Amino acid sequence: MNKVAFIFRTPPHGSAAGREGLDAVLATSALSEDIGVFFADDGVYQLLSRQDPSAILGRDYAPTFGLLELYDVDNVYICARSLAERGLAPAQITIETEILSASDWQQCLANYNVRLSF
């Protein structure tokens, strides 16, 4: 069976990539138990608490990432370097993630033979 990694690299607002990626993760979780969700670059903004996209008429879907645990998606990783480069602290993240150094992030991602980027 394929191990599937979903990689979030884009910010949450301005495109539908984040919402579509989240929908893909939740749908795939019904078919596979070997799912990893990775956040790097501007994708770390997907998990920030207290987002208010109403000014741009956007939907605040960040709390929906909390469903990952309910859907038995336990392998959720965030790149420590991406957090640091953006001046973000782990306390600002809305869900439980494993924070990995850049090299550990790459090693962990290498365990997945299918990679989808959003």
Q: What pLDDT sits at residue 53?
A: 61
| Dihedral class, residue 101 (left if φ above 0, else alpha if ψ from -120 to 50, else beta) | beta
> What residue ranges do the domains of the chain occupy?
4-117
Q: What pLDDT sits at residue 67?
A: 87
DSSP state of 33: S
Gyration radius (Cα) of the chain, Å: 13
The CATH number of the structural domain formed by 4-117 is 3.40.1260.10
Digit-coded pLDDT (tens) for 12-67: 877 788 889 999 999 999 888 899 999 999 999 998 877 766 665 666 677 678 88
Digit-coded pLDDT (tens) for 68-105: 998 999 999 999 999 999 999 998 998 999 999 999 99
Assign 39 to helix, strand or coil: strand
Nearest residue to 83 (alpha-carbon basis) of 69, 93, 68, 95? 93
The strand pairing partners of 75, in sequence order, are 36
Q: Is the pLDDT of residue 6 over 80?
A: yes
Q: What pLDDT sits at residue 109?
A: 95
Nearest residue to 117 (alpha-carbon basis) of 17, 3, 14? 17
CA distance 115 to 118: 10
